[in-house]
Amino acid sequence: MAVSKTKKTTGNKTAASGRKKPAQTVLQEPGKVFISEADCYLFSQGTHYDIYKKLGAHISTENGQKGMFFAVWAPNAEAVYVIGTFNGWDETQYPMEKINEVGIYRCFIPGVGENELYKFLIHTQDGRKLYKADPYANAAELRPGTASKTTDLSGFHWTDAKWEAARDAEDHTKAAMSIYECHIGSWMKHPGEGDGFYTYREFADRMALYLKEMPFTHIELMGISEHPFDGSWGYQVTGYYAPTARYGTPKDFMYLVNKMHEIGVGVILDWVPAHFCPDEHGLACFDGQCIYEDPDPRRGEHPDWGTRIFNCGKPEVKNFLIANVLYWIREYHIDGIRVDAVASMLYLDYGKQPGQWLPNQYGGNKNLDAIEFFRHMNSVVRGSYPGFLTIAEESTAWPNVTSDIGKEGLGFSFKWNMGWMHDFCEYMKLDPIMRKGSHYSMTFAMSYNSAENYILPLSHDEVVHLKCSMVEKMPGYRADKYANLRAGYTFMFGHSGKKLLFMGQEFGQEREWSEERELDWFLLQESLNAGMKRYVQDLLKMYRKYPCLHEIDNDWAGFEWLNADDCDRSIYSFFRRCPSDKRCLLFILNMTPVEREKYRIGVPVKKKYRLILNSAKKEYGALEDVRVPLSITARAGECDYREQYLEFTLPPYGALVFEF
């Protein structure tokens, strides 16, 4: 029998003798879920990192009977009942027992198995009845239903031990990282079948084939945690511990992750600790009072988003969120999280007008609780799982977002470079004749590149809300748009920083993204789109093949401008190198439709330069091939402050990459 030891909270001494009390021994049945005093204490301190194994609904055995153990945190409730399909939603049959002052209620119901729907009926102190989904539920009813669902997460056969060992041994700052951001429900659909959603398993099998062809290193999944409204894309969550039922069961999602690991692709989840939706069945005013959010709307609500803000100053709320990350790691083998809207958490006045927010204790606008939360989360998660990625979507110049754990910074692995993304998109939208006036917007990111570990994102946010798709942002006729984008992508893959592309951008999706329809795969019948896909495929292969493109990403030792000042011709040239100085790459980018005959560029060494990529080729969608020698030997002569140069024809909207 398992033995659990607990101690009375009386100072560990008897009042009469002053002697220590002997530890009490509680005999526990095998398979029984048990919440001890130690569990309650750790939860109240915000440090019970396995709390998801105790709260929620779990298969258990009590007095020889198998059934379901239910537990919920509702400190202000007058009474709590479990209701569900197993008792005809009877509101009085299964009252829950409040086990201590922390406010945890428990109930064991014999005979209840998997796939039963349930809710917690909460009687508030002012006489109301609230019908709440389980905050710790591992599964949920398919929307528009709002109930939780009993399930068993055990028994899945994982085959990714080698993957996880290799991941934990890798230094991700030096490794290639190209991320495919994806929304399962709209990547591809079954025609004429209701929502048309692929299941997690169908998606995994189809995506595995696609990623073998398009060699991204990671896939970032949007909208996995359960959410009621498709149009929120998963950014207004009700079930933080439940993979959405839209695509199948928890074990189906395990299959997806395992399948990605089989083909060598890491899985990153979009994670949303910044806010949650106010739906009646969710976390808002959970037990009649605000226990997950601050009761003062100046701290507890986002006026622009209509959502509630987690109260990161409350230990139980921090515990809920940190344990949630650990849950996805331990139960689903997730490799990283992209943390949404970090800036909205760091600033108390984010998106608020005067009078809509409260300053901190020192009178400033920094959210001190959120700062401590991020440091705590990253120290626990990255300290326990060194290969796990925590990625911040932080849109301001907050210092030291990425740092070693325990240092002054927030402790994230990487930060999205939103400044680079904005400058890149604004420049690429310009008519070529106007680009010389904004030339340095494309070079600016390198001036602060060493401040953080960056990811360069071209994300879903850039192709919605009338912003146009990436290819439709480009100026010119249709062929010009694609030539522009090929040059832009080459700049991105040559620039310091890891890479992220949203689905569809790899083949030139022309319509804006909508969660209601699949990507426009029919475009691949067009030569421009097929050529774009082939070009991005070759960029991905080049990026993974050449260490100089990823080994030194946040230091000038890995990047050097050859000419950053050719404003009048809108040409950029730079090279990438790594510590070995072997197989360096030279990038030349012509951002105008003007062909440059006998173009000269100063180069670092007088050696042979081998052309490995030319965007102006018919196979990539160019109207005609512009002949560039496959091998050019540098000539002696001063150019661009160098003692040797190359000379060749630079194609219009041409992107050339040479190895040397």
The residues annotated with a catalytic role in the active site are 340, 393
Strands 266-271 and 336-339, sheet pairing: parallel
The answer to whether 649 and 598 are in contact (CB under 8 A) is yes
Tokens of 619: 């196979």
What's the residue count for the chain? 660
Strands 642-650 and 585-590, sheet pairing: unpaired
Half-sphere exposure of 470 (CA within 13 A, CB side): 27
Residue owning tokens 């969608």: 621
> Distance between CA atoms of 230 and 247, rounded to whole angstroms?
13
Closest CA to 220 of 389, 342, 380: 389
Cα of 246 vs its chain's centroid, Å? 19
The answer to whether 426 and 438 are in contact (CB under 8 A) is yes
The answer to whether 240 and 324 are in contact (CB under 8 A) is yes
Strands 239-243 and 225-226, sheet pairing: antiparallel
> Distance between CA atoms of 531 and 181, rounded to whole angstroms?
21
The answer to whether 442 and 421 are in contact (CB under 8 A) is no
> Distance between CA atoms of 352 and 362, rounded to whole angstroms?
19
Strand partners, 245: none
> Distance between CA atoms of 246 and 140, rounded to whole angstroms?
10
| CB-CB neighbours of 5 under 10 Å | 10
Question: What 3-state class would DSSP assign to 346?
Answer: helix
The answer to whether 172 and 161 are in contact (CB under 8 A) is no
The answer to whether 614 and 628 are in contact (CB under 8 A) is yes
Question: What 3-state class would DSSP assign to 443?
Answer: coil
Strand partners, 656: 588, 614
Print burial letters for 265-289: b (CB count within 10 Å at least 16), e (below 16).
bbbbbbbbbbbbbeeebbbbbbbbe
The phi and psi torsions of 356 (rounded to 5 degrees) equal -100, 0
The residues near 193 (Cβ < 8 Å, ≥ 6 apart) are none
Q: What share of the chain is helix, strand, coil (3-state, %, to 5)?
A: 30, 25, 45
The answer to whether 603 and 573 are in contact (CB under 8 A) is no
Question: What 3-state class would DSSP assign to 502?
Answer: strand
> Distance between CA atoms of 162 and 156, rounded to whole angstroms?
17
> Distance between CA atoms of 476 and 482, rounded to whole angstroms?
9
CA-derived radius of gyration, the chain? 28
> Distance between CA atoms of 376 and 320, rounded to whole angstroms?
13
Q: What residue type is 33 in one-letter code?
A: V
* Cα-based angle 391, 326, 155 (whole degrees, multiple of 5): 125
| CB-CB neighbours of 89 under 10 Å | 15
Terminal Cα distance for the chain, rounded? 68
